[in-house]
């Protein structure tokens, strides 16, 4: 059936033709990824010695990447699952974009652990000799389950649109058609199917919300469970969780703005959406600030000796530069931008979100490294020092390039805006029991 309404037409446009720009983009991203892969192979052959890690700073940029990318992975679940549970129908256009960030950042998060291991080829030991008392086993379970669940959740919400592509897109290469046919699993747009899909998605949304809370708490318990000063605090779980949601939502804003610009989806991803996200971001930044104050005030006030060593290192020591930049980048500047400049101004929103994510990467760095550089048994000149070396830089860039590459690849072959959900705003597809959503232009205050 030829494309009839304009809505589908704008969303399916990007899939039409794979231009020269795409190949160029994919090529450059692939080069970066191969550089990262080469660095990892060099590290596997030579040994972890080529990184900057040493004694006592045994964990460095790789573990920071691990926490950061798992943090990014919270965007998808938050936008689609939690808002679906909360019945916020305005989230419809951006659910897939958000879940895509989750889907494509998770492998690089989990991959960072693999890269950081001394013997990656012994990964199966985790299964053969898995020991559940270790926080790493909790991580493996939680992150693994979360990855599996977000793949299924993503695929299910994609199903109707794949069927739509199968039916609508006739002038695409054959292999693409066959792919749509296979992936659509014989979807027939029947109301019963939609009804079952809605029920399953609602059920999974509840499960995913609970799961995402466990994932990032468990990631933070890698540090929380040790007795090291600066790590061993009860607040590290919620602190990391809120940081992750903040970083995830900021990532969603960036992704949406890029999509809007590249694929001219202005009227689908209208300013109202960004205004709602802006309100969310403001609350999360304030929440994150609350966590920061709660943690550092408690440590500073009680001022136990070894805790103060780490705290002073952060506030006025070697890491004071990174720490204060991080607080400014994540708290002051974005907050001011959102409050004064952000309304109806996507450009500023993106700038603030980029700042937030840079700040959040530094925040993970600040939580991990200073505790390691001032060990409890702090003898004369015993403090460690750590500078990331070439392989760590290459692999970090490769992770980011990988995320963007997968994202770009996906938007080329599948509609990034869920047509069947947004189509509800048009008559004819009365599948959703909710009342007709408020028309798009009126939202936002």
- Show contacts with another protein in window 54-73 (CB under 8 A): 54-56, 58-59
Check residue 344 for interaction with another protein (CB under 8 A).
no
**What DSSP designation does 92 have?**
G
Stretch that binds another protein, among 116-124, 242-250, 287-295, 430-438 (CB under 8 A): 116-124
Check residue 279 for interaction with another protein (CB under 8 A).
no
- Nearest of 239, 287, 281, 223 to residue 256 by alpha carbon: 281
Nearer to another protein, 152 or 438 (CB): 152
Check residue 171 for interaction with another protein (CB under 8 A).
no
Check residue 307 for interaction with another protein (CB under 8 A).
no
Q: Which of 1, 2, 129, 321 is in the footprint of another protein by CB under 8 A?
A: 129
Give the Cα separation of 151 and 139 in Å (integer): 18
CA 328 from centroid of its chain's CA atoms: 22
Q: Which of 5, 9, 226, 320 is in the footprint of another protein by CB under 8 A?
A: 226
Check residue 282 for interaction with another protein (CB under 8 A).
no
Check residue 258 for interaction with another protein (CB under 8 A).
no
Task: Output b/e per residue, 147-169; b: 16+ Cβ within 10 A.
Answer: bebbeebbeebbbbbbbbbbebb
Check residue 182 for interaction with another protein (CB under 8 A).
no
* H-run or E-run covering 365: helix 346-373
Contact map string, positions 142 to 161, toward another protein, x by CB under 8 A:
--xx--xx--x--xx--x--
Look up residue 313 and give its two tokens: 């290192």
Q: Which of 187, 263, 274, 351 is in the footprint of another protein by CB under 8 A?
A: 187
Stretch that binds another protein, among 27-35, 187-195, 285-293, 417-425 (CB under 8 A): 187-195
CB atoms within 10 A of CB 266: 12
Look up residue 164 and give its two tokens: 């739509």
Check residue 193 for interaction with another protein (CB under 8 A).
yes
Give the Cα separation of 216 and 74 in Å (integer): 8
Nearer to another protein, 60 or 238 (CB): 60
Contact criterion met (CB below 8 Å) for 251 and 238: no
Nearer to another protein, 87 or 186 (CB): 186
Contact map string, positions 365 to 394, toward another protein, x by CB under 8 A:
-------x--xxx-xxxx-xx---------
Q: Which residue has the tokens 């007709």?
A: 436
Nearer to another protein, 193 or 344 (CB): 193
Look up residue 144 and give its two tokens: 């693994």
Angle at 401 between CA 398 and CA 405, to 5 degrees: 135
Check residue 117 for interaction with another protein (CB under 8 A).
yes
In the complex, the smallest distance separating the C-beta of residue 68 from another protein, rounded to whole angstroms, is 18
The CB-side HSE value for 71 (13 A sphere, CA atoms) comes to 30
Check residue 320 for interaction with another protein (CB under 8 A).
no
Question: Interface residues for another protein in 3-62 (CB under 8 A)?
Answer: 46-49, 52-56, 58-59
Contact criterion met (CB below 8 Å) for 269 and 14: no
């Amino acid at each position: 059936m030829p494309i009839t309404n304009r809505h589908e037409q704008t969303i399916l446009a990007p899939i039409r033709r794979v231009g020269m720009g795409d190949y160029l983009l994919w090529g450059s991203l692939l080069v970066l990824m191969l550089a990262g892969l080469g660095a990892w192979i060099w590290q596997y052959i030579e040994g972890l010695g080529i990184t900057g890690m040493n004694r006592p700073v045994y964990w460095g940029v790789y573990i920071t990447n691990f926490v950061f990318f798992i943090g990014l992975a919270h965007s998808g679940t938050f936008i689609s699952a939690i808002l679906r549970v909360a019945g916020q129908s305005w989230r419809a256009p951006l659910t897939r974009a958000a879940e895509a960030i989750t889907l494509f950042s998770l492998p690089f998060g989990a991959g960072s652990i693999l890269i950081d291991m001394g013997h990656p080829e012994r990964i199966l030991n985790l299964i053969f000799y898995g020991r559940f008392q270790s926080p790493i086993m909790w991580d493996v379970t939680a992150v693994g389950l979360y990855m599996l669940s977000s793949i299924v959740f993503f695929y299910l919400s994609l199903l109707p649109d794949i069927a739509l592509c199968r039916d609508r897109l006739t002038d695409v290469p054959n292999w693409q058609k066959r792919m749509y046919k296979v992936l659509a699993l014989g979807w027939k747009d029947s109301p019963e199917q939609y009804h079952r899909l809605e029920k399953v998605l609602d059920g999974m949304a509840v499960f995913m919300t609970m799961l995402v809370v466990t994932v990032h708490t468990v990631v933070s318990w890698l540090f929380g469970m040790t007795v090291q000063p600066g790590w061993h605090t009860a607040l590290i779980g919620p602190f990391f969780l809120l940081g992750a949601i903040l970083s995830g939502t900021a990532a969603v804003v960036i992704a949406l703005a890029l999509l809007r610009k590249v694929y001219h989806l202005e009227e689908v991803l209208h300013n109202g959406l960004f205004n709602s996200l802006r309100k969310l971001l403001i609350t999360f930044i304030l929440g994150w600030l609350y966590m920061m104050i709660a943690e550092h005030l408690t440590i500073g006030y009680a001022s136990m000796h070894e805790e103060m060593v780490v705290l002073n290192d952060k506030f006025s020591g070697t890491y004071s530069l990174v720490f204060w930049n991080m607080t400014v980048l994540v708290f002051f500047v974005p907050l001011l931008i959102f409050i004064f400049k952000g309304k109806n101004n996507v450009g500023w929103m993106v700038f603030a979100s980029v700042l937030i994510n840079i700040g959040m990467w530094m925040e993970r760095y600040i939580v991990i490294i200073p505790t390691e550089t001032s060990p409890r048994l702090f003898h004369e000149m015993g403090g460690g020092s750590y500078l990331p070396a070439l392989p760590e830089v290459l692999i970090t860039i490769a992770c980011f390039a990988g995320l963007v590459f997968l994202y770009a690849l996906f938007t080329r072959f599948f509609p990034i805006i869920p047509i069947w959900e947004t189509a509800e705003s048009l008559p004819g597809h009365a599948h959703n029991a909710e009342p007709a959503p408020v028309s798009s232009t009126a939202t936002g205050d």
